[in-house]
Structure 1
Amino acid sequence: MAKLIAGATVSLDGFVEDADGSSAALYADFDELTASGYMQAVQDETGAVIMGRRTFDMAEDPDDYADNYEFQVPMFVVTHEPPPVTPRSNGRLSVTFVTDGVESAAQQALEAAGDRNVTFIGGADVFGQLLAAGLVDELSVDVMPVLLGDGVRLFAGGPTATLEKVRVEQIGVRTALRYRVVR
């Protein structure tokens, strides 16, 4: 059965963005990460992606997702308002803008994923909404050895949860933590 895995990269002090709204310091290892066996395993297990609109808008050209995005699977973008033009798709990747909440996005993504998992990519707010709604089966949190000091916290004022460790991996300077949400 497919699981919803909420993923994020954080600084050691728990931020997903610095005070200027940048996450660049958290991806200083991007080339090493994308070439790693760890990332290949995440791609292999992923049948659909959920992300927030701000995360989606980080792409300079949304049409580039169809050619260059590391997850070539259906994408479900949680938003209040879809863009006027739907980005290009290909035979593997399509983009659906979901305006009726995280529950709908999760349901659509789980259906699209089939027997593979749904990976939530980003947006601290949507991450918290998914967790609060009880939709997250596992957390996949990568910790980078940097202190941002201020910015957007991943778990600021969010719901409480009991977690069970699944695994810990080291990928270069990055530490990947995986937890099962205990219900």
Structure 2
Amino acid sequence: MTTPLGTVTCDITISIDGYSAGHDQTEERPFGDDGSDGTGEKLHAWMFETPEENKAEVEEFRAAKAYIMGRNMFGPVRGAWDRPWNGWWGDNPPFHVPVFVLTHHAREPQPMEGGTTYHFVTDGIESALAQARAAAGDGDVTIAGGATTINQYLAAGLVDALRLHIVPFTMGAGTRLFEGVPRLDLEQVRSRAASLVTHVTYRVLR
């Protein structure tokens, strides 16, 4: 009997002009020139300044049984990969399940507090997805970003759903969602406006 597969969902916060980070990301400024101090304070204020208002969306994100992220989301500084660095999610990252990090830099799996283990995948997006699906069982896999990683999965036709958290300001430049992605047909599943963000979920039609 074949075990049913969960949904592959991309979940990302973007400015209203589609950017998830500015240029010049560093270890101290993970979101680069994002229109604030480079820490994503403006982009992700909806999570931290109004958590109760957006509790359902945060819980939905945390319900995944495995995650995939790009190297820049783990940590973009090239030198950081040459030393024992835990990424900028701290000693107890919020995932609490396996996280598969796309990278060209091979590393041993990195267990963290709270149940998160980072697995560093060097053989491409399909391998990362296969490993994440195996870890998730019949649970959902969330591709957490950044935009470059999500664009690769969208272009390859490997995404079932897209959850966007759209913040009402323009960034103007940086890493942009849908860059280089062929035309997509999407079905809007739901949307909800909050005080600092609009949440929209789309099904990717094939």
Same fold (TM over 0.5): yes
| Structure 2 equivalent of residue 80 of structure 1 | 104
**1:118-159 Cα deviation digits (max 9, x unpaired):** 111112221111111111111111100111122221112222
* RMSD of aligned alpha carbons: 2.4
Unaligned runs of 5+ in 1: none
Unaligned runs of 5+ in 2: 26-31, 35-39
Output aligned runs, 1:1-183, within 5 Å. 1-21=5-25, 22=32, 23=34, 24=40, 25-32=42-49, 36-44=55-63, 46-57=64-75, 62=86, 65=89, 67-83=91-107, 86-90=109-113, 92-183=115-206
Q: Percent identity?
A: 38
Q: Is the 8 A contact 1:66 1:88 kept in 2?
A: no
Quick one: distance in 1 between partners of 2:61 and 2:23?
A: 29
Quick one: distance in 1 between partners of 2:201 and 2:70?
A: 21
RCO higher in 1 or 2 (8 Å CA, sep ≥ 6)?
1
Shift of 1:117: 0.6
Q: TM-score, normalised by structure 2?
A: 0.78
Shift of 1:111: 1.2
Quick one: distance in 1 between partners of 2:147 and 2:50?
A: 21
Q: Is the 8 A contact 1:6 1:136 kept in 2?
A: yes
Q: Is the 8 A contact 2:68 2:144 kept in 1?
A: yes
Q: TM-score, normalised by structure 1?
A: 0.87
- Partner amino acid, structure 2, of 1:47: K
